[in-house]
Amino acid sequence: MKHKFNALIVDDERLARKELISMLRKYPDINISGEAGSVDSALDVIKELRPDVIFLDIQMPGSSGFTLLDKINPNIKIIFVTAFDEYAIRAFEVNALDYLLKPVNPLRLKSAIERLYQNNSNKQIVSRKFEYEDSIFLLINSQMRFIKISSVISINASGDYTDIHTVNSIKGLTSKTMREWETRLPENHFIRIHRSTIINLNYVQKIEEWFNHSYHIYLKGIEQPYTMSRRYASILKEKLG
């Protein structure tokens, strides 16, 4: 039996909202519980209706759709509906379920709805690998920031979360796990040197032998060296040839 979802449409363009609502009527398990034309009005509607999924525009007068994300329950599913081109969308690395380009293609909408059912069934959705030149839109210390993957110097485990350190002195806690970073970062640029540390090979300054067959790795922009065990050293040696 399929789950029924209460949906909210947030878009400053009334015609765009009406068109999407019309397209969603083909899906009886999607109940359009409300609509809003701005982030501020959406917050009021969300408090009242408690939707399961929000179809959210990004470019809106006043506040971007992104500003809504840190003000609502993180369990609400987000499907962005945007006029941004496909290349720009790669930058938005927030926990959105999917992205739909305007004008919305019915087949892409169907795919997004299928992902919604998948996610609700706790089936794993495979995330795309990052490209080294990608920028990602990431929540760091409770603030959404654009981060270039190529600017990341190191990532360190912090309980169930991770700390990120970049060349432009952006440092802080992210909700991504070490496992997710390791799976999604480009393997020819990033390597795990410890169970709690991932580094960008392009920022390695020097590697020194330490004691008990371990090593110290010095990275540009980071004063203290990281320790690399013998096991990870052999992986690094193989990677570097």
Asked if residue 106 and residue 167 are part of one domain, the reply reads: no
DSSP run (H or E) holding 35: strand 30-36
Structural tokens at position 222: 């980071």
Is 161 part of a structural domain of the chain? yes
Q: What is the pTM of this model?
A: 0.56
Asked if residue 40 and residue 80 are part of one domain, the reply reads: yes
How far apart CA 204 and CA 61 sit, in angstroms, is 43
pLDDT for the residue 96 = 73
Is 140 part of a structural domain of the chain? no
Is 138 part of a structural domain of the chain? no
Residue 15, domain extent: 5-120
Asked if residue 66 and residue 18 are part of one domain, the reply reads: yes
Q: Which DSSP string corresponds to 54-87?
A: EEE-S--SSS-THHHHTTS-TTSEEEEEE-S-HH
Place of tokens 């927030």: 94
**Total number of domains constituting the chain:** 2
Is 137 part of a structural domain of the chain? no
Asked if residue 9 and residue 116 are part of one domain, the reply reads: yes
Per-residue pLDDT of the chain (241 residues; tens, 9 = 90+): 457 899 999 999 999 999 999 999 999 999 999 999 999 999 999 999 999 999 999 888 888 887 887 788 878 899 989 887 654 555 455 557 888 889 999 999 999 998 888 876 654 444 668 888 887 777 788 777 778 899 999 999 998 889 999 998 889 998 888 998 998 899 999 999 998 999 999 999 998 988 877 889 999 989 899 999 878 887 777 776 6
Asked if residue 95 and residue 11 are part of one domain, the reply reads: yes
Asked if residue 156 and residue 116 are part of one domain, the reply reads: no
Asked if residue 82 and residue 17 are part of one domain, the reply reads: yes
Assess contact for 54 and 140: CB atoms under 8 A. Answer: no
CATH number of the domain within which 110 lies: 3.40.50.2300
CATH number of the domain within which 153 lies: 2.40.50.1020
pLDDT for the residue 139 = 78
Is 235 part of a structural domain of the chain? yes
Assess contact for 104 and 84: CB atoms under 8 A. Answer: no
Is 132 part of a structural domain of the chain? no
Is 126 part of a structural domain of the chain? no
pLDDT for the residue 231 = 80
Asked if residue 150 and residue 78 are part of one domain, the reply reads: no
Assess contact for 7 and 30: CB atoms under 8 A. Answer: yes
Assess contact for 51 and 7: CB atoms under 8 A. Answer: yes
Asked if residue 186 and residue 221 are part of one domain, the reply reads: yes
pLDDT for the residue 162 = 94
Structural tokens at position 209: 């032998």
Asked if residue 204 and residue 101 are part of one domain, the reply reads: no
Helix-then-strand count for the chain, H and E: 7, 15
How many whole angstroms from its chain centre is CA 80? 13
pLDDT for the residue 203 = 95
Asked if residue 114 and residue 23 are part of one domain, the reply reads: yes
Is 229 part of a structural domain of the chain? yes
Asked if residue 233 and residue 166 are part of one domain, the reply reads: yes
